Structure 1
Amino acid sequence: MSEPKDDTRQAAILDAAWQCFASYGFRKTAMDDIARAAGMSRPALYQHYRNKEDIFRSLAQNHFDEVAIAVRAALAKPGSAGTVLAEAFTAQGGRLIEAMVRSPHGMELIDTSRATSGDIAEAGEARLSEIYRDWLAAGQSVGRIDFEGSPEQVAATIAAALKGLKSAAKSFSGYQASLRRFAHLIGAGLEAAASSR
C-alpha cells in the first residue's frame, strides 16, 4: 500500500469500504463499489490500496488503534471498578463490532477478518490485554482492587471472556448489556477481594 497522501481521503475510503462490506458482504463488494461510495474513480482508489483485502486490513488496524485509545481513556477515569470496566468494555465493543453484529453479512465479515487480518487482530488483542494488565497492576498496587493470580493472568481471563461474549452475541444491544453485566460482576469481585485483605 502506498503512503496516504490525504488523511481525509483515506478516512473517506475506509468509511465507504466499510459501508459496502456491511451492505453487500466482502465477497460481493467490488473495488468499483468502494470507489463509487468514496466519490472517486477506481484508478484513484488504486493509488491508495492494492485490493479490497488491503482495505480490510486497514480497517482492522484502524479498529484496534481506535479501541486501544478508547479503552485506555476509559480505564483512566475515576469510579468503581465495575463502572470503569463497563466503560472500557463498551469502548472495546466499538462501531466495527456493532456493524458486524447488525450486518446481514456479519458472519462472512468475521470469517474475512480471520482470513485477511488475523495477525492484526492477534496483535490488537494482545495490546488490549496489556492495557487491562497495566490497569489491574496499578489498582492492585494501591490496594483499590485485588485478585488471585498475576495481572497478566487476569487480563488474559478478561480477554477470553470478552471474546466469548462477542461470539455469543445475537444482537448488539444484547451484547452491550452482557458487557455491562460482566464488567460489574468482575468489578465487584475485584473490589470485594481488596476489602477482605
Structure 2
Amino acid sequence: MPGDRLDEVLDAAYDCLTRYGMRRTTMDDIASVMGVSRSAVYQYVHGKDDAFRRLARRLHERALVRARRAAGGEDASHAERVRGVLAARLDLARGLAGDSPHTAELLDEKARLSGDICHAFTGELRRLLIALFTEADTVARSPAGVEPVEAADICLALVAGLESAPDGGRLLAPAADALLTGLLGAPADSADEPTRPAVPSCRGLPAPGQ
C-alpha cells in the first residue's frame, strides 16, 4: 500500500534524523535504512526536506489526536482533561528528546521546515485549553478571576518549562494540580494518582489509538 510505504520512508527519515541530524542526512541515508534505491524513495517524497516536513506533521497530528481525546473526555473532570492535553504536548517533547538531541528542530516554531506545523499544533492545544477553561468558568471559580485565555497560556508556559526539566514527566501531575487548584478554585483531583511512567520513545511512531 502507498500509505504503508510512505510510513516506512518517514520511519527511516526519523532513524536518520536521530543519528545524523537534518543537515547531515541525505536521501542515500534514508534509502540505505530502508534497503532500497534512492529513486525508490523519491516515489514517495520529493526530497529529504519533504520527508522531514511530513515526519513533523505526522508526529504532531498523532499528539493532537491524543490531546483532543483527552479534552473531549466528558466523564473526566476539567482538571483531568486539562492534564491530558498538557501530557500530550509534554510526552511528545520528552519522547523526541529521549531519542536524540537532533530531534529538537521538530518542535521548534522557528525552524525552517516545520516551524509552521509546530506553531499550528501549539495554537490548537491553546484552543482546546481555552474551551476547557471557558466551560469550567475560570473567571468565576478562580480567586484571581483569571480569563480562559490567560489560564491556557499559563498552562502552556508550565509545560514549556517542564520540557527542559530532567524530571519533567514526574513533575507534570503535581505541578499541574497546584496550578489548577488556583485556576479552578478547587483542589485538583489527582492526589492519589500513581506516578506517571517514563514516557516512551518516539521510535516506531505508533499510530493513533495504538
Give the alignment's TM-score, normalised by structure 2: 0.73
- Residue 56 of structure 1 corresponds to 52
Equivalent residue in structure 2 for 1:33, among 21, 29, 33:
29
- Residue 118 of structure 2 corresponds to 121
Q: Could you list the per-position Cα deviations for residues 41-77 of structure 1 after superposition, in whole angstroms to 9, with x for gaps in the alignment? A: 2112112222222211112212221122111111222
CA spacing shift, 1:111–1:74, aligned 2, 3 Å: closer
- Residue 189 of structure 1 corresponds to 182
1:161 aligns with 2:154: no
- Residue 17 of structure 1 corresponds to 13
Deviation at 1:149, TM superposition (A): 3.2
CA spacing shift, 1:46–1:83, aligned 2, 3 Å: same
Deviation at 1:134, TM superposition (A): 1.1
Give the alignment's TM-score, normalised by structure 1: 0.77
Is contact 1:133–1:152 with CA below 8 Å preserved after alignment? yes
- Residue 85 of structure 1 corresponds to 82
CA spacing shift, 1:58–1:67, aligned 2, 3 Å: same
Tell me, which stretches of 5 or more residues in structure 2 are unaligned?
Answer: 188-210
Deviation at 1:157, TM superposition (A): 2.2
Work out the CA distance in 2 between the residues paired with 1:70 and 1:180. Answer: 17
Equivalent residue in structure 1 for 2:71, among 47, 56, 75:
75
CA spacing shift, 1:79–1:187, aligned 2, 3 Å: farther
Whichever residue aligns with residue 93 of structure 1, its letter is L
Structure richer in helix, relative to its length: 1
Is contact 1:101–1:169 with CA below 8 Å preserved after alignment? no
Whichever residue aligns with residue 34 of structure 2, its letter is A
Q: Could you list the per-position Cα deviations for residues 137-157 of structure 1 after superposition, in whole angstroms to 9, with x for gaps in the alignment? A: 12228x8x6473322222122
Report which stretch shifted further, 25-34 or 84-93: 84-93
Work out the CA distance in 1 between the residues paired with 2:172 and 2:149. Answer: 20
Query: How much identity, in percent, do the aligned residues show?
Result: 29
Q: Which has the higher contact order (CA 8 A, sep 6+)?
A: 1
Equivalent residue in structure 2 for 1:43, among 39, 42, 50:
39
Deviation at 1:104, TM superposition (A): 4.2
- Residue 175 of structure 1 corresponds to 168
Deviation at 1:6, TM superposition (A): 1.5
Work out the CA distance in 2 between the residues paired with 1:189 and 1:112. Answer: 29
CA spacing shift, 1:70–1:131, aligned 2, 3 Å: same
Q: Could you list the per-position Cα deviations for residues 120-170 of structure 1 after superposition, in whole angstroms to 9, with x for gaps in the alignment? A: 2111111111111111112228x8x6473322222122223322322x233
Count of paired positions: 184
